[in-house]
Chain A
Amino acid sequence: MRVLVIDPDPARAALVAEGLGGDDMPEVRQTARFDAAEVAAFSPDVIVVACDSADRDTLESLREAGEANPRPVVMFADRSEPGLAEQAIRAGVAAYVVDGLAPGRVRSIVEVAMTRFALMQQLRGDLAKAKANLESRKVVDRAKGLLMKERGLDEDAAYKLLRKLAMDKGRPIGAVAADLLAFAGILKGDAS
Protein backbone atom coordinates (compact mmCIF):
# COMPACT_ATOMS: atom_id res chain seq x y z
CA MET A 1 0.00 0.00 0.00
CA ARG A 2 1.21 3.48 -0.87
CA VAL A 3 0.47 6.47 1.34
CA LEU A 4 1.07 10.09 0.39
CA VAL A 5 1.22 12.69 3.16
CA ILE A 6 0.52 16.26 2.05
CA ASP A 7 1.35 18.79 4.72
CA PRO A 8 2.64 22.35 4.39
CA ASP A 9 4.41 21.76 7.73
CA PRO A 10 7.44 19.60 6.82
CA ALA A 11 8.30 18.67 10.41
CA ARG A 12 4.82 17.38 11.04
CA ALA A 13 4.77 15.56 7.71
CA ALA A 14 8.00 13.82 8.67
CA LEU A 15 6.54 12.82 12.02
CA VAL A 16 3.45 11.34 10.35
CA ALA A 17 5.52 9.56 7.71
CA GLU A 18 7.74 8.08 10.39
CA GLY A 19 4.70 6.90 12.31
CA LEU A 20 3.22 5.20 9.25
CA GLY A 21 6.43 3.58 8.07
CA GLY A 22 6.75 -0.02 9.13
CA ASP A 23 6.99 -3.56 7.95
CA ASP A 24 3.45 -3.78 6.62
CA MET A 25 3.51 -0.24 5.23
CA PRO A 26 6.00 -0.40 2.45
CA GLU A 27 5.79 3.01 0.89
CA VAL A 28 5.16 6.40 2.45
CA ARG A 29 5.96 9.68 0.76
CA GLN A 30 5.57 13.22 1.99
CA THR A 31 5.18 16.48 0.15
CA ALA A 32 4.39 20.06 1.10
CA ARG A 33 2.16 20.59 -1.92
CA PHE A 34 -0.08 18.58 -4.19
CA ASP A 35 1.42 18.01 -7.60
CA ALA A 36 -0.75 16.21 -10.14
CA ALA A 37 2.17 14.61 -12.00
CA GLU A 38 3.78 13.43 -8.78
CA VAL A 39 0.52 11.95 -7.52
CA ALA A 40 -0.12 10.22 -10.84
CA ALA A 41 3.38 8.74 -10.82
CA PHE A 42 3.23 7.55 -7.21
CA SER A 43 -0.41 6.49 -7.46
CA PRO A 44 -1.16 6.44 -3.74
CA ASP A 45 -3.91 4.29 -2.23
CA VAL A 46 -4.37 6.78 0.58
CA ILE A 47 -3.67 10.49 0.74
CA VAL A 48 -3.42 11.97 4.21
CA VAL A 49 -3.74 15.74 4.00
CA ALA A 50 -3.46 18.39 6.69
CA CYS A 51 -6.61 20.48 7.10
CA ASP A 52 -4.42 23.58 6.94
CA SER A 53 -3.29 22.63 3.44
CA ALA A 54 -4.96 24.60 0.66
CA ASP A 55 -4.61 21.50 -1.54
CA ARG A 56 -7.71 19.90 -0.13
CA ASP A 57 -9.95 21.65 -2.65
CA THR A 58 -7.88 20.33 -5.54
CA LEU A 59 -8.13 16.82 -4.09
CA GLU A 60 -11.89 17.29 -3.80
CA SER A 61 -12.07 18.09 -7.50
CA LEU A 62 -10.39 14.79 -8.34
CA ARG A 63 -13.44 13.13 -6.87
CA GLU A 64 -15.57 15.04 -9.36
CA ALA A 65 -13.46 14.52 -12.46
CA GLY A 66 -13.52 10.79 -12.99
CA GLU A 67 -11.96 10.98 -16.43
CA ALA A 68 -8.77 12.74 -15.34
CA ASN A 69 -8.47 10.38 -12.43
CA PRO A 70 -8.93 6.75 -13.41
CA ARG A 71 -8.59 5.59 -9.78
CA PRO A 72 -11.63 7.13 -8.12
CA VAL A 73 -10.83 8.90 -4.91
CA VAL A 74 -13.32 9.24 -2.10
CA MET A 75 -13.09 11.21 1.07
CA PHE A 76 -12.61 9.01 4.05
CA ALA A 77 -15.89 8.84 5.96
CA ASP A 78 -15.97 5.62 7.89
CA ARG A 79 -19.63 4.75 8.24
CA SER A 80 -18.89 1.55 10.09
CA GLU A 81 -17.14 3.53 12.82
CA PRO A 82 -19.08 6.74 13.32
CA GLY A 83 -17.06 9.48 14.90
CA LEU A 84 -13.64 8.61 13.52
CA ALA A 85 -13.88 10.98 10.55
CA GLU A 86 -15.15 13.66 12.90
CA GLN A 87 -12.24 13.12 15.32
CA ALA A 88 -9.84 13.31 12.41
CA ILE A 89 -11.23 16.64 11.19
CA ARG A 90 -11.06 18.03 14.72
CA ALA A 91 -7.45 16.84 14.93
CA GLY A 92 -6.69 18.61 11.65
CA VAL A 93 -6.41 15.53 9.44
CA ALA A 94 -8.35 14.67 6.28
CA ALA A 95 -7.88 11.54 4.21
CA TYR A 96 -8.74 10.53 0.68
CA VAL A 97 -8.71 6.90 -0.26
CA VAL A 98 -9.01 4.88 -3.40
CA ASP A 99 -12.52 3.55 -3.60
CA GLY A 100 -12.85 0.03 -2.31
CA LEU A 101 -9.93 0.03 0.07
CA ALA A 102 -10.52 -2.05 3.21
CA PRO A 103 -11.89 0.28 5.93
CA GLY A 104 -9.72 -1.30 8.62
CA ARG A 105 -6.51 -0.35 6.87
CA VAL A 106 -7.72 3.22 6.36
CA ARG A 107 -8.67 3.42 10.01
CA SER A 108 -5.22 2.54 11.25
CA ILE A 109 -3.60 5.09 8.94
CA VAL A 110 -5.96 7.85 10.00
CA GLU A 111 -5.40 7.00 13.65
CA VAL A 112 -1.63 7.15 13.31
CA ALA A 113 -1.88 10.51 11.53
CA MET A 114 -4.17 11.90 14.24
CA THR A 115 -1.82 10.74 16.99
CA ARG A 116 1.17 12.27 15.26
CA PHE A 117 -0.64 15.57 14.70
CA ALA A 118 -1.47 15.69 18.40
CA LEU A 119 2.13 14.82 19.27
CA MET A 120 3.42 17.63 17.07
CA GLN A 121 1.08 20.09 18.70
CA GLN A 122 2.26 18.98 22.12
CA LEU A 123 5.93 19.25 21.15
CA ARG A 124 5.37 22.73 19.78
CA GLY A 125 3.44 23.70 22.93
CA ASP A 126 6.23 22.36 25.17
CA LEU A 127 8.81 24.29 23.17
CA ALA A 128 6.84 27.52 23.47
CA LYS A 129 6.48 26.95 27.22
CA ALA A 130 10.20 26.23 27.61
CA LYS A 131 11.03 29.42 25.73
CA ALA A 132 8.63 31.42 27.89
CA ASN A 133 10.16 29.92 31.05
CA LEU A 134 13.65 30.79 29.92
CA GLU A 135 12.54 34.32 29.08
CA SER A 136 10.88 34.68 32.46
CA ARG A 137 14.02 33.46 34.25
CA LYS A 138 16.10 36.06 32.44
CA VAL A 139 13.67 38.79 33.45
CA VAL A 140 13.70 37.61 37.08
CA ASP A 141 17.52 37.65 37.07
CA ARG A 142 17.56 41.20 35.77
CA ALA A 143 14.99 42.35 38.31
CA LYS A 144 17.03 40.69 41.08
CA GLY A 145 20.11 42.54 39.86
CA LEU A 146 18.21 45.82 39.95
CA LEU A 147 17.00 45.25 43.52
CA MET A 148 20.49 44.24 44.63
CA LYS A 149 21.90 47.45 43.19
CA GLU A 150 19.16 49.87 44.23
CA ARG A 151 18.24 48.41 47.59
CA GLY A 152 21.61 46.97 48.58
CA LEU A 153 20.14 43.48 49.01
CA ASP A 154 21.96 40.22 48.53
CA GLU A 155 20.71 37.84 45.85
CA ASP A 156 18.66 35.68 48.17
CA ALA A 157 16.90 38.67 49.75
CA ALA A 158 16.21 40.19 46.34
CA TYR A 159 14.59 36.96 45.16
CA LYS A 160 12.52 36.68 48.36
CA LEU A 161 11.28 40.25 47.86
CA LEU A 162 10.22 39.49 44.29
CA ARG A 163 8.48 36.33 45.43
CA LYS A 164 6.63 38.22 48.17
CA LEU A 165 5.50 40.86 45.64
CA ALA A 166 4.26 38.11 43.34
CA MET A 167 2.34 36.43 46.15
CA ASP A 168 0.83 39.71 47.38
CA LYS A 169 -0.36 40.58 43.89
CA GLY A 170 -1.33 37.04 42.97
CA ARG A 171 0.67 37.24 39.74
CA PRO A 172 3.51 35.17 38.29
CA ILE A 173 6.95 36.17 39.46
CA GLY A 174 8.07 36.77 35.86
CA ALA A 175 5.26 39.30 35.35
CA VAL A 176 6.09 41.14 38.59
CA ALA A 177 9.77 41.22 37.59
CA ALA A 178 8.88 42.60 34.15
CA ASP A 179 6.74 45.35 35.77
CA LEU A 180 9.56 46.26 38.10
CA LEU A 181 11.99 46.59 35.21
CA ALA A 182 9.52 48.66 33.22
CA PHE A 183 8.87 51.05 36.13
CA ALA A 184 12.59 51.37 36.78
CA GLY A 185 12.98 52.29 33.12
CA ILE A 186 10.29 54.97 33.41
CA LEU A 187 11.91 56.44 36.53
CA LYS A 188 15.18 56.62 34.66
CA GLY A 189 13.38 58.30 31.76
CA ASP A 190 13.66 55.40 29.28
CA ALA A 191 10.00 55.43 28.34
CA SER A 192 8.97 57.69 25.56
Chain B
Amino acid sequence: MSGLTLGFIPLTDCAPLVVAAAKGLFAAEGLDVTLTREASWATIRDKVAVGALDAAHMLAPMALAATAGVVEPAVPLLAPLALAANGAAITLSNALIRALAVEDATPQATVTALARVVAERRAGGEPPLTFAVVFPYSIHNYALRYWLAGAGIDPDRDVRIVVVPPPRMVEQLLTGQVDGISVGAPWNAVAARGGLGRIVLRASQFWAAGPDKVLGVTEGFAAEDPSRLQALLRALVRAQAWADAPENRGELTALLAQPQHVGAEAEAIAVALEGELAFHRNAAAVPRIEHALWQLGQMRRWGQIGDEVDRPALAARVYRPDLAIAALASVGAPAQPAPPLARLFDGESFDGAPRP
Protein backbone atom coordinates (compact mmCIF):
# COMPACT_ATOMS: atom_id res chain seq x y z
CA MET B 1 0.00 0.00 0.00
CA SER B 2 1.35 3.38 -0.90
CA GLY B 3 2.39 5.84 1.77
CA LEU B 4 0.10 8.31 3.50
CA THR B 5 1.18 11.64 4.92
CA LEU B 6 -0.61 13.03 7.98
CA GLY B 7 -0.12 16.54 9.33
CA PHE B 8 -0.39 17.80 12.86
CA ILE B 9 0.09 20.95 14.93
CA PRO B 10 2.12 20.83 18.15
CA LEU B 11 -0.77 20.51 20.62
CA THR B 12 -1.53 17.78 23.15
CA ASP B 13 -4.53 16.56 21.18
CA CYS B 14 -2.30 15.46 18.30
CA ALA B 15 -1.74 12.42 20.55
CA PRO B 16 -3.82 9.91 18.53
CA LEU B 17 -1.62 10.49 15.45
CA VAL B 18 1.66 10.42 17.37
CA VAL B 19 0.70 7.31 19.36
CA ALA B 20 -0.51 5.42 16.28
CA ALA B 21 2.85 6.09 14.60
CA ALA B 22 5.02 5.40 17.65
CA LYS B 23 3.19 2.22 18.63
CA GLY B 24 3.14 0.73 15.15
CA LEU B 25 -0.66 0.89 14.94
CA PHE B 26 -0.64 2.29 11.39
CA ALA B 27 1.79 -0.43 10.30
CA ALA B 28 -0.44 -3.07 11.94
CA GLU B 29 -3.20 -1.92 9.55
CA GLY B 30 -0.83 -2.20 6.60
CA LEU B 31 -0.49 1.57 6.33
CA ASP B 32 2.82 3.28 5.66
CA VAL B 33 2.26 6.62 7.39
CA THR B 34 4.58 9.60 7.64
CA LEU B 35 3.72 12.33 10.15
CA THR B 36 4.67 15.92 9.41
CA ARG B 37 4.54 18.69 11.95
CA GLU B 38 3.02 21.78 10.37
CA ALA B 39 3.45 25.39 11.46
CA SER B 40 -0.06 26.73 10.92
CA TRP B 41 -3.69 25.70 10.55
CA ALA B 42 -3.81 27.52 7.22
CA THR B 43 -1.06 25.25 5.89
CA ILE B 44 -2.85 22.16 7.25
CA ARG B 45 -6.01 23.24 5.39
CA ASP B 46 -4.20 24.03 2.13
CA LYS B 47 -2.10 20.88 2.12
CA VAL B 48 -5.13 18.68 2.78
CA ALA B 49 -7.03 20.51 0.02
CA VAL B 50 -4.33 19.93 -2.61
CA GLY B 51 -3.50 16.41 -1.43
CA ALA B 52 -0.02 17.20 -0.09
CA LEU B 53 -1.44 15.79 3.15
CA ASP B 54 -3.83 12.84 3.03
CA ALA B 55 -5.36 13.60 6.43
CA ALA B 56 -4.67 15.92 9.33
CA HIS B 57 -5.26 17.01 12.89
CA MET B 58 -7.77 19.78 12.23
CA LEU B 59 -9.91 22.37 13.98
CA ALA B 60 -13.46 21.10 13.63
CA PRO B 61 -14.90 24.43 12.37
CA MET B 62 -12.21 24.55 9.68
CA ALA B 63 -13.69 21.44 8.07
CA LEU B 64 -17.16 23.00 8.25
CA ALA B 65 -15.99 26.33 6.80
CA ALA B 66 -14.10 24.72 3.91
CA THR B 67 -17.12 22.62 2.95
CA ALA B 68 -19.46 25.59 3.30
CA GLY B 69 -17.22 27.32 0.75
CA VAL B 70 -16.56 30.37 2.92
CA VAL B 71 -12.77 29.89 2.91
CA GLU B 72 -10.27 29.25 0.14
CA PRO B 73 -9.56 26.63 -0.96
CA ALA B 74 -13.18 25.57 -0.74
CA VAL B 75 -12.60 21.83 -0.94
CA PRO B 76 -15.28 19.71 0.77
CA LEU B 77 -13.90 17.94 3.82
CA LEU B 78 -15.08 15.18 6.11
CA ALA B 79 -14.62 14.77 9.85
CA PRO B 80 -14.84 10.97 10.20
CA LEU B 81 -13.32 11.00 13.70
CA ALA B 82 -13.14 13.35 16.67
CA LEU B 83 -9.55 13.32 17.93
CA ALA B 84 -10.36 14.53 21.43
CA ALA B 85 -12.96 16.24 23.58
CA ASN B 86 -12.07 19.40 25.50
CA GLY B 87 -8.47 20.38 26.32
CA ALA B 88 -8.60 24.11 25.58
CA ALA B 89 -8.86 26.94 28.13
CA ILE B 90 -8.83 30.69 28.54
CA THR B 91 -5.95 32.19 30.54
CA LEU B 92 -5.76 35.84 31.63
CA SER B 93 -2.57 37.75 32.37
CA ASN B 94 -1.58 38.51 35.96
CA ALA B 95 -2.13 42.22 35.39
CA LEU B 96 -5.67 41.63 34.18
CA ILE B 97 -6.39 39.19 37.03
CA ARG B 98 -5.28 41.91 39.49
CA ALA B 99 -7.54 44.45 37.79
CA LEU B 100 -10.51 42.07 38.01
CA ALA B 101 -10.03 41.70 41.77
CA VAL B 102 -12.48 38.81 42.11
CA GLU B 103 -12.49 36.45 45.05
CA ASP B 104 -15.04 34.14 43.50
CA ALA B 105 -13.20 32.80 40.50
CA THR B 106 -16.13 31.08 38.76
CA PRO B 107 -16.21 31.73 35.02
CA GLN B 108 -19.30 33.90 35.43
CA ALA B 109 -17.95 36.02 38.29
CA THR B 110 -14.72 36.48 36.34
CA VAL B 111 -16.43 37.64 33.16
CA THR B 112 -18.76 39.97 35.09
CA ALA B 113 -15.67 41.64 36.56
CA LEU B 114 -14.13 41.65 33.11
CA ALA B 115 -17.12 43.57 31.77
CA ARG B 116 -16.53 46.17 34.49
CA VAL B 117 -12.83 46.49 33.57
CA VAL B 118 -13.71 46.79 29.87
CA ALA B 119 -16.16 49.63 30.69
CA GLU B 120 -13.62 51.37 32.96
CA ARG B 121 -10.95 51.23 30.29
CA ARG B 122 -13.30 52.66 27.73
CA ALA B 123 -14.32 55.46 30.11
CA GLY B 124 -10.65 56.14 30.86
CA GLY B 125 -9.75 56.32 27.18
CA GLU B 126 -7.45 53.31 27.47
CA PRO B 127 -6.94 50.94 24.54
CA PRO B 128 -9.22 47.88 24.49
CA LEU B 129 -8.07 44.61 26.00
CA THR B 130 -6.53 42.20 23.51
CA PHE B 131 -7.27 38.47 23.43
CA ALA B 132 -5.49 35.90 21.33
CA VAL B 133 -7.18 32.93 19.71
CA VAL B 134 -5.60 30.28 17.50
CA PHE B 135 -7.68 30.75 14.38
CA PRO B 136 -10.90 32.51 13.32
CA TYR B 137 -12.60 29.15 12.74
CA SER B 138 -11.93 27.47 16.07
CA ILE B 139 -13.75 26.44 19.21
CA HIS B 140 -11.23 28.68 21.00
CA ASN B 141 -12.60 31.73 19.20
CA TYR B 142 -16.24 30.73 19.74
CA ALA B 143 -15.81 29.85 23.44
CA LEU B 144 -14.09 33.19 24.10
CA ARG B 145 -16.79 35.11 22.23
CA TYR B 146 -19.62 33.23 23.90
CA TRP B 147 -18.11 33.83 27.36
CA LEU B 148 -17.54 37.55 26.71
CA ALA B 149 -20.90 38.13 25.06
CA GLY B 150 -22.69 36.48 27.98
CA ALA B 151 -21.54 39.37 30.18
CA GLY B 152 -22.52 41.98 27.62
CA ILE B 153 -19.02 42.42 26.14
CA ASP B 154 -19.18 42.78 22.34
CA PRO B 155 -16.20 40.72 21.11
CA ASP B 156 -15.97 42.76 17.91
CA ARG B 157 -16.19 46.26 19.43
CA ASP B 158 -15.31 46.17 23.11
CA VAL B 159 -12.12 44.11 22.87
CA ARG B 160 -9.59 43.18 20.18
CA ILE B 161 -9.34 39.55 19.16
CA VAL B 162 -6.14 38.64 17.33
CA VAL B 163 -4.81 35.38 15.97
CA VAL B 164 -1.53 34.09 17.40
CA PRO B 165 0.07 30.68 16.73
CA PRO B 166 -0.27 28.47 19.84
CA PRO B 167 3.46 28.17 20.73
CA ARG B 168 3.79 31.98 20.66
CA MET B 169 0.84 32.73 22.93
CA VAL B 170 2.85 32.31 26.11
CA GLU B 171 5.52 34.83 25.12
CA GLN B 172 2.84 37.34 24.06
CA LEU B 173 1.19 36.99 27.46
CA LEU B 174 4.60 37.48 29.07
CA THR B 175 5.39 40.62 27.08
CA GLY B 176 1.94 42.10 27.62
CA GLN B 177 1.05 42.14 23.91
CA VAL B 178 -2.09 40.25 24.83
CA ASP B 179 -4.18 40.29 28.00
CA GLY B 180 -5.68 36.86 27.58
CA ILE B 181 -5.31 33.73 25.48
CA SER B 182 -7.79 31.10 24.34
CA VAL B 183 -5.74 28.13 23.23
CA GLY B 184 -5.42 24.35 23.40
CA ALA B 185 -3.27 22.24 25.69
CA PRO B 186 -0.53 22.42 26.76
CA TRP B 187 -0.15 26.17 26.37
CA ASN B 188 -2.46 27.32 29.19
CA ALA B 189 -0.63 25.02 31.57
CA VAL B 190 2.73 26.30 30.29
CA ALA B 191 1.61 29.89 31.00
CA ALA B 192 0.15 29.06 34.42
CA ARG B 193 3.20 27.02 35.49
CA GLY B 194 5.42 29.87 34.39
CA GLY B 195 3.47 32.21 36.67
CA LEU B 196 2.32 34.32 33.70
CA GLY B 197 -1.40 34.16 34.27
CA ARG B 198 -4.38 32.28 35.60
CA ILE B 199 -6.67 29.82 33.85
CA VAL B 200 -10.20 31.21 34.21
CA LEU B 201 -12.27 28.92 31.98
CA ARG B 202 -11.47 25.36 31.00
CA ALA B 203 -13.21 23.81 28.01
CA SER B 204 -14.53 21.09 30.31
CA GLN B 205 -16.24 23.82 32.38
CA PHE B 206 -17.41 25.67 29.29
CA TRP B 207 -19.01 22.58 27.79
CA ALA B 208 -18.12 19.18 29.22
CA ALA B 209 -17.20 16.68 26.49
CA GLY B 210 -17.41 19.52 23.98
CA PRO B 211 -15.81 19.47 20.52
CA ASP B 212 -12.29 20.52 19.58
CA LYS B 213 -10.12 18.74 16.98
CA VAL B 214 -11.16 16.24 14.34
CA LEU B 215 -9.38 14.19 11.74
CA GLY B 216 -9.86 16.09 8.49
CA VAL B 217 -9.83 14.40 5.07
CA THR B 218 -11.18 15.49 1.73
CA GLU B 219 -14.39 13.90 0.47
CA GLY B 220 -12.29 12.76 -2.48
CA PHE B 221 -9.81 10.90 -0.28
CA ALA B 222 -12.63 9.20 1.60
CA ALA B 223 -14.45 8.17 -1.57
CA GLU B 224 -11.33 6.97 -3.38
CA ASP B 225 -10.73 4.06 -1.01
CA PRO B 226 -13.21 3.62 1.85
CA SER B 227 -11.35 0.58 3.21
CA ARG B 228 -8.13 2.59 3.45
CA LEU B 229 -9.99 5.27 5.42
CA GLN B 230 -11.38 2.61 7.76
CA ALA B 231 -7.87 1.19 8.27
CA LEU B 232 -6.66 4.68 9.16
CA LEU B 233 -9.55 5.18 11.59
CA ARG B 234 -8.98 1.77 13.22
CA ALA B 235 -5.33 2.66 13.91
CA LEU B 236 -6.38 6.01 15.35
CA VAL B 237 -9.17 4.69 17.59
CA ARG B 238 -6.74 2.08 18.97
CA ALA B 239 -4.30 4.92 19.63
CA GLN B 240 -7.05 6.90 21.37
CA ALA B 241 -7.86 3.97 23.67
CA TRP B 242 -4.16 3.62 24.48
CA ALA B 243 -3.81 7.36 25.11
CA ASP B 244 -6.75 7.37 27.52
CA ALA B 245 -5.50 4.47 29.63
CA PRO B 246 -4.10 5.84 32.93
CA GLU B 247 -1.27 3.29 32.96
CA ASN B 248 0.09 4.75 29.71
CA ARG B 249 0.00 8.38 30.80
CA GLY B 250 3.69 8.62 31.75
CA GLU B 251 4.80 7.18 28.43
CA LEU B 252 2.33 9.34 26.50
CA THR B 253 3.53 12.50 28.26
CA ALA B 254 7.16 11.71 27.46
CA LEU B 255 6.28 10.92 23.84
CA LEU B 256 4.41 14.18 23.34
CA ALA B 257 7.12 16.23 25.06
CA GLN B 258 9.66 15.25 22.38
CA PRO B 259 10.71 18.21 20.25
CA GLN B 260 9.41 16.67 17.00
CA HIS B 261 5.94 16.33 18.54
CA VAL B 262 4.66 19.03 20.93
CA GLY B 263 8.04 20.08 22.28
CA ALA B 264 6.86 21.52 25.60
CA GLU B 265 7.82 20.52 29.15
CA ALA B 266 6.37 17.18 30.20
CA GLU B 267 4.95 18.60 33.45
CA ALA B 268 2.79 21.08 31.51
CA ILE B 269 1.65 18.41 29.04
CA ALA B 270 0.64 16.15 31.92
CA VAL B 271 -1.83 18.75 33.25
CA ALA B 272 -4.48 18.43 30.53
CA LEU B 273 -4.00 14.66 30.32
CA GLU B 274 -5.05 14.50 33.95
CA GLY B 275 -8.82 14.41 33.56
CA GLU B 276 -9.29 17.31 31.13
CA LEU B 277 -8.78 15.79 27.69
CA ALA B 278 -10.69 12.68 26.68
CA PHE B 279 -9.61 10.68 23.65
CA HIS B 280 -11.66 7.52 23.92
CA ARG B 281 -13.89 7.38 26.99
CA ASN B 282 -17.52 8.55 26.80
CA ALA B 283 -17.51 8.09 23.03
CA ALA B 284 -15.05 11.00 22.64
CA ALA B 285 -13.94 9.65 19.25
CA VAL B 286 -17.39 9.96 17.71
CA PRO B 287 -17.97 13.31 15.98
CA ARG B 288 -21.43 14.38 17.15
CA ILE B 289 -23.75 16.10 14.71
CA GLU B 290 -24.96 18.31 17.58
CA HIS B 291 -21.40 19.58 18.03
CA ALA B 292 -21.26 20.56 14.38
CA LEU B 293 -24.62 22.31 14.69
CA TRP B 294 -23.50 24.26 17.74
CA GLN B 295 -20.32 25.39 15.99
CA LEU B 296 -22.25 26.33 12.85
CA GLY B 297 -24.61 28.32 15.06
CA GLN B 298 -21.62 30.25 16.44
CA MET B 299 -20.27 30.79 12.92
CA ARG B 300 -23.62 32.27 11.99
CA ARG B 301 -23.80 34.34 15.18
CA TRP B 302 -20.45 35.99 14.44
CA GLY B 303 -21.08 36.52 10.75
CA GLN B 304 -18.68 33.90 9.39
CA ILE B 305 -21.49 32.23 7.47
CA GLY B 306 -24.81 33.57 6.27
CA ASP B 307 -28.34 32.26 6.40
CA GLU B 308 -27.93 30.76 2.95
CA VAL B 309 -25.88 27.95 4.52
CA ASP B 310 -28.15 24.99 5.26
CA ARG B 311 -26.62 24.15 8.62
CA PRO B 312 -28.27 20.76 9.27
CA ALA B 313 -27.33 19.57 5.77
CA LEU B 314 -23.77 20.84 6.13
CA ALA B 315 -23.36 19.24 9.58
CA ALA B 316 -24.55 15.88 8.26
CA ARG B 317 -22.28 16.12 5.23
CA VAL B 318 -19.08 16.94 7.16
CA TYR B 319 -19.55 15.19 10.49
CA ARG B 320 -19.60 11.43 9.97
CA PRO B 321 -20.24 9.62 13.25
CA ASP B 322 -21.05 6.49 11.22
CA LEU B 323 -17.44 6.18 10.07
CA ALA B 324 -16.03 6.47 13.61
CA ILE B 325 -18.64 4.05 14.96
CA ALA B 326 -17.76 1.48 12.28
CA ALA B 327 -14.04 1.73 13.13
CA LEU B 328 -14.69 1.40 16.87
CA ALA B 329 -16.91 -1.64 16.32
CA SER B 330 -14.33 -3.35 14.12
CA VAL B 331 -11.57 -3.05 16.74
CA GLY B 332 -13.86 -4.58 19.36
CA ALA B 333 -14.49 -1.35 21.26
CA PRO B 334 -18.01 -0.45 20.16
CA ALA B 335 -18.90 3.15 20.94
CA GLN B 336 -20.99 3.51 24.05
CA PRO B 337 -24.29 5.27 23.41
CA ALA B 338 -23.45 8.96 23.36
CA PRO B 339 -24.16 10.52 26.76
CA PRO B 340 -26.73 13.32 26.80
CA LEU B 341 -25.23 16.69 25.90
CA ALA B 342 -24.00 18.55 28.97
CA ARG B 343 -25.23 22.05 29.71
CA LEU B 344 -22.89 24.91 28.95
CA PHE B 345 -21.16 26.71 31.82
CA ASP B 346 -23.94 29.31 32.03
CA GLY B 347 -26.65 26.68 32.40
CA GLU B 348 -27.80 26.95 28.78
CA SER B 349 -28.69 23.65 27.23
CA PHE B 350 -28.08 22.90 23.60
CA ASP B 351 -30.36 20.31 22.10
CA GLY B 352 -28.84 20.25 18.65
CA ALA B 353 -31.65 22.20 17.06
CA PRO B 354 -30.31 25.00 14.87
CA ARG B 355 -31.18 28.43 16.14
CA PRO B 356 -31.50 31.69 14.33
- Which residues does A use to contact B, with CB under 8 Å? 51-61, 64, 68, 74-75, 77, 85-86, 89-90, 94
Out of B42, B47, B73, B160, name the residue touching A57 (CB < 8 Å).
B42
Contacts of A68 in B (CB 8 A): 160
A94–B50 CB distance below 8 A: no
How many residues in B have their beta carbons less than 8 Å from beta carbons of A? 24
Contacts of B39 in A (CB 8 A): 51-54, 56
Q: Provide a sorted-by-A list of 21 A–B residue pairs whose CB atoms are within 8 angstroms.
A: A51-B39, A51-B47, A52-B38, A52-B43, A53-B40, A54-B168, A55-B165, A56-B39, A56-B43, A57-B40, A57-B164, A60-B40, A60-B41, A60-B136, A64-B304, A75-B72, A86-B50, A89-B46, A89-B50, A90-B52, A94-B43
Residue from the set B47, B163, B168 with the largest chain A CB neighbour count within 10 Å: B163
Q: Is B233 part of the contact surface with A, judged by Cβ < 8 Å?
A: no
Contacts of B162 in A (CB 8 A): 58, 61
Contacts of B163 in A (CB 8 A): 57-58, 60-61
B42–A77 CB distance below 8 A: no
Known interface pairs A51-B43, A57-B135; 8 further A-B residue pairs with C-beta atoms within 8 A, sorted by A's residue number: A51-B46, A56-B41, A57-B40, A57-B164, A60-B136, A64-B136, A86-B50, A89-B49
Contacts of A94 in B (CB 8 A): 42-43, 46
In the assembled complex, the Cα of A53 lies from the Cα of B42 at a distance in Å of 10
CB distance from A37 to the nearest CB of B (A): 11
B73–A85 CB distance below 8 A: yes
Q: Is B134 part of the contact surface with A, judged by Cβ < 8 Å?
A: yes
A61–B46 CB distance below 8 A: no
A59–B50 CB distance below 8 A: no
A60–B50 CB distance below 8 A: no
Out of B49, B52, B160, B165, name the residue touching A54 (CB < 8 Å).
B165
In the assembled complex, the Cα of A145 lies from the Cα of B192 at a distance in Å of 59
A61–B135 CB distance below 8 A: yes
In the assembled complex, the Cα of A37 lies from the Cα of B116 at a distance in Å of 29
Report how many A-B pairs have Cβ atoms within 8 Å: 68
Q: Is B197 part of the contact surface with A, judged by Cβ < 8 Å?
A: no
Contacts of A60 in B (CB 8 A): 40-42, 135-136, 163
In the assembled complex, the Cα of A62 lies from the Cα of B39 at a distance in Å of 18
CB distance from B260 to the nearest CB of A (A): 14
Q: Is B167 part of the contact surface with A, judged by Cβ < 8 Å?
A: yes
Contacts of A53 in B (CB 8 A): 39-40
Which residues B109-159 have CB closer than 8 A to chain A?
Answer: 134-136
A59–B42 CB distance below 8 A: yes
CB distance from B72 to the nearest CB of A (A): 5
CB distance from A17 to the nearest CB of B (A): 20
B50–A90 CB distance below 8 A: yes
In the assembled complex, the Cα of A6 lies from the Cα of B212 at a distance in Å of 29
Contacts of A55 in B (CB 8 A): 40, 165
CB distance from B90 to the nearest CB of A (A): 18
In the assembled complex, the Cα of A60 lies from the Cα of B43 at a distance in Å of 10
> Which of chain B's residues has its CB closest to A87's CB?
B50
In the assembled complex, the Cα of A90 lies from the Cα of B50 at a distance in Å of 8
Contacts of A86 in B (CB 8 A): 50
In the assembled complex, the Cα of A54 lies from the Cα of B43 at a distance in Å of 9
B72–A58 CB distance below 8 A: no
In the assembled complex, the Cα of A61 lies from the Cα of B304 at a distance in Å of 12
CB distance from B56 to the nearest CB of A (A): 13
With A61-B135, A61-B136, A75-B72 as contacts: A56 and B42 at CB distance below 8 Å: yes
Contacts of B50 in A (CB 8 A): 85-86, 89-90
In the assembled complex, the Cα of A51 lies from the Cα of B46 at a distance in Å of 10
CB distance from B274 to the nearest CB of A (A): 27
The 7 closest A-B pairs by CB, nearest first: A61-B163, A54-B165, A56-B40, A56-B42, A86-B50, A54-B39, A64-B136
With A52-B39, A64-B136, A75-B72 as contacts: A57 and B165 at CB distance below 8 Å: yes
B136–A89 CB distance below 8 A: no
Contacts of A56 in B (CB 8 A): 39-43
CB distance from B213 to the nearest CB of A (A): 15
Contacts of B38 in A (CB 8 A): 51-52
> Which of chain A's residues has its CB closest to B304's CB?
A64
CB distance from B87 to the nearest CB of A (A): 18
Contacts of B43 in A (CB 8 A): 51-52, 56, 89, 94
> Which of chain B's residues has its CB closest to A75's CB?
B72
CB distance from B68 to the nearest CB of A (A): 15
With A57-B41, A89-B46 as contacts: A77 and B135 at CB distance below 8 Å: no
> Which of chain A's residues has its CB closest to B165's CB?
A54
CB distance from B117 to the nearest CB of A (A): 22
Which residues B159-175 have CB closer than 8 A to chain A?
Answer: 160, 162-165, 167-168
Interface string of B198-229 (1 = CB under 8 A from A): 00000000000000000000000000000000
In the assembled complex, the Cα of A94 lies from the Cα of B45 at a distance in Å of 12
In the assembled complex, the Cα of A58 lies from the Cα of B133 at a distance in Å of 10
Contacts of B136 in A (CB 8 A): 60-61, 64
B40–A89 CB distance below 8 A: no
> Which of chain B's residues has its CB closest to A50's CB?
B39
